[in-house]
Amino acid sequence: MHPTSLEMRVRRFAERVRTIKHVEQALALLNWDAQTMLPKKGVEARSQVIGTLTEQRVRLLLDPQLAEDVAALTEPEAAAQLDEPTREAVRLVKREIERRRAVPLELQRAFAELTTEAEAVWAEARKADDFARFSPYLERIVATVRTFADCWGYEGHPYDALLDDYEPGMTVAKLDALFRELRPPLEALLDRVREAGPVDAAFLRRAFPLDRQRAFVERVLVDIGYDFDGGRLDVSAHPFCTGIHPGDVRITTRYNPHDFVDAFFSALHEGGHALYEQQLPAEWADTPLGEGASMGIHESQSRFWDTFIGLSRPFWERYYPEAVDKFPEVLGDVSFSAFYRAINRIEPSLIRVDADPLTYQFHIFLRYELEKQLVAGELAVADLPAAWRERMRAYLGIAPETDADGVLQDVHWSAGLFGYFPTYTLGNLYAAQLHAAMHRDLDDMDARVREGDFAPIRAWLADRVHRHGRRHSPEALIAQATGEPPTARPFIAFLEEKVRDVYGL
């Protein structure tokens, strides 16, 4: 037998990977539809179809032919002949095959079933404020996740093995270092804000007609460059963004007549994710490179828009007069400065997703620490609600009366997503760092925002972040985009400036 030619292996590899990506596109649509369009009697059948396609995807990934091609293309002599994107694609596929192979298929299937059931039980438990109903599931999930960590292996902390799924290359050691840098200045800022006392925001709860909220949201999305010819905006219980393909990136929001802020900033947040997905290189759409670099980098794109643009002075200097025009009966008597202070107010609260950019990070510190302890076997699930309350009190000075508003508030643990939470804070840090670098590069950035001209910003993000897809590690991407590896300093500086601006402190 003569050896299979390199060219043929590359072609076969690309075809197989393309098939996998197409199954992923189908899954993305099945999931989007389940949250936006699916009639309730179709829910059960849908979850079965998603299960079957997920399994088919794994089958395609674990096909021996693909493994053989990947192995051959990883040989130094062969690898040297590949162009860099192909070499990177091979590396990413190899890594996923290895992680999949490391865990017995039986255990993967059992975990999929366990988390499907656990999500339903969690939803009921939260409704009934009954942690005891959920805890046996969480115990099994933690136990399985610990086994995963052992299967995958790690050098430092077992949590490293989990982190790597969401933020490739990130470790407990690196995270702890970043958080050590971040935390004391945030604590100091929070103390100062508390002393300043509350900011009035009651007018944000007035009646904002839904159709006008929708029109305002759509208009701003168009302004920032979200392309409706390659996407759509729908309504769902929890806002989200689904990038099916760079030409088909869908976002959702939710409208509450007594909350202008929720729909608007949710849409801006998802719009940020969507700009990333729409500006991913279309020529890599059928390869593993055509995706966001990591969960943290993805979150940096949504935070960039909702926090660093959407909460900024120049942004509202542009849009506040329009908002007043749109909602004269609710905002007519509210000054720019009152509005600006209200949306930027900092206030400890129980629910993570409602938190401001400062107190938000303490929600993450808490979850990260509890997850680390659970995964290390240093904390029992039964002790979780008490640990939650204790830390909330220590970090933010408040504690939930119910577990529904505490340990049961997030879906992540029921879905088995251990290692995910820290990427939210990383997203904030990356966004601040990108924002600061952009400010240096575009000297008239504030003026552009004030004019509603976001094209240079979008172009900068495309050039530094979006067009690279998953080609670089998050760490390398940030270093390359900003000239410095990930650091907490720009985010701290941003918050210090914000507190000065809003509270005059």
Annotated binding-site ranges for Zn(2+): 269, 273, 299
**Residue 52 binds a second copy, judged by CB under 8 A:** yes
199 binds a second copy (CB under 8 A): no
**Per-residue x/- marks for a second copy, 252-291, CB under 8 A?**
---------------------------------x------
Provide, rounded to whole angstroms, the least separation between the CB of residue 207 and a second copy.
Answer: 23
- Residues from 300 through 329 that contact a second copy (CB under 8 A): none
Interface pick for a second copy out of 248, 317, 369, 446 (rule CB under 8 A): 248
**Closer to a second copy at the Cβ: 47 or 473?**
47
CB of 449 to a second copy, least distance (A): 27
Q: How far is the CB of 54 from a second copy (least distance, A)?
A: 11
Find out whether 124 and 408 touch, Cβ atoms under 8 Å. no
Q: Minimum CB separation from a second copy for residue 16, in Å?
A: 11
Residue with tokens 């005891």: 132
Map residues 207-236 to x or -, x wherever contact with a second copy holds by CB under 8 A.
Answer: --------------------xxxxxx----
Nearer to a second copy, 172 or 285 (CB): 285
When binding is defined by CB under 8 A, the residue of 35, 56, 74, 473 that contacts a second copy is 56
With contact defined as beta carbons under 8 Å apart, do 392 and 399 qualify? yes
Q: Closer CB to a second copy, residue 45 or residue 351? A: 45
For residue 241, the minimal CB distance to a second copy (Å) is 14
Residue 29 or 128 with smaller CB distance to a second copy: 29
For the stretch 375-382, contacts whose Cβ atoms lie closer than 8 Å and that sit 24 or more positions apart, written own/partner, are: 375/142, 375/145, 375/146, 375/149, 375/157, 375/158, 375/159, 375/162, 375/418, 376/157, 376/158, 376/159, 377/146, 381/135, 381/138, 381/139, 381/142, 382/135
Of 29-37, 201-209, 411-419, 422-430, which segment contacts a second copy by CB under 8 A?
29-37
Residue 231 or residue 400: which is nearer to a second copy going by CB?
231
DSSP character at residue 229 = G
Catalytic residue among 88, 167, 270, 475: 270
Is 270 annotated in the active site?
yes
Among 6, 38, 62, 121, binds a second copy (CB under 8 A): 38
Q: By CB under 8 A, is residue 49 in contact with a second copy?
A: yes
How many Cα neighbours within 13 Å face the side chain of 333? 5
Contact indicator for 121, 133 with CB cutoff of 8 Å:
yes
Tell which residue, 248, 305, 251, 231, has the closest CA to residue 282: 248
Q: Measured from the CB atom, is 126 or 250 closer to a second copy?
A: 250
Identify which range of 49-57, 208-216, 303-311, 485-493 contacts a second copy by CB under 8 A: 49-57
345-364: which residues touch a second copy (CB under 8 A)? none
Smallest distance, a second copy to C-beta of residue 112, A: 15
d(CA 7, CA 80): 13
30 belongs to the binding site for a second copy (CB under 8 A)? yes
Residues 232, 384: Cα–Cα separation, whole Å: 40
Q: Which amino acid is at 110?
A: A
Burial tier of 333 (Cβ tally within 10 Å: 0-12, 13-18, 19+): exposed
Q: Minimum CB separation from a second copy for residue 279, in Å?
A: 13
Q: What single-letter DSSP state applies at residue 289?
A: T
Of the chain, the end-to-end C-alpha distance in Å amounts to 77
- Asked if 456 is part of the footprint of a second copy (rule: CB under 8 A), the reply reads no
Residue recorded with tokens 């599931």? 137
The C-alpha angle with vertex 451 and arms to 465 and 211, in degrees rounded to 5, equals 90
Q: How many Cβ atoms from other residues are within 10 Å of residue 183's Cβ?
A: 16
Query: With left for phi above 0 and alpha for psi between -120 and 50, is residue 59 left, alpha or beta?
Result: alpha
Sites for a second copy among residues 2-21 (CB under 8 A): 18-19
**Using CA atoms, how far apart are residues 505 and 493, in angstroms rounded to an integer?**
14
What distance lies between CA 221 and its chain's CA centroid?
A: 19
Span from 98-106, 241-249, 313-321, 326-334 in contact with a second copy (CB under 8 A): 241-249
For a second copy, the closer CB: 65 or 335: 65
**Alpha helices for 197-312 (secondary structure H):** 210-224, 260-278, 295-303
**Residue list for the binding site:** 269, 273, 299
**CA–CA separation, 410 vs 352, rounded Å?**
8
Active-site amino acid positions: 270
Question: By the criterion CB under 8 A, which residues form the site for a second copy?
Answer: 18-19, 22-23, 25-26, 29-30, 33, 37-46, 48-49, 52-53, 56, 227-232, 244-245, 247-248, 250, 285
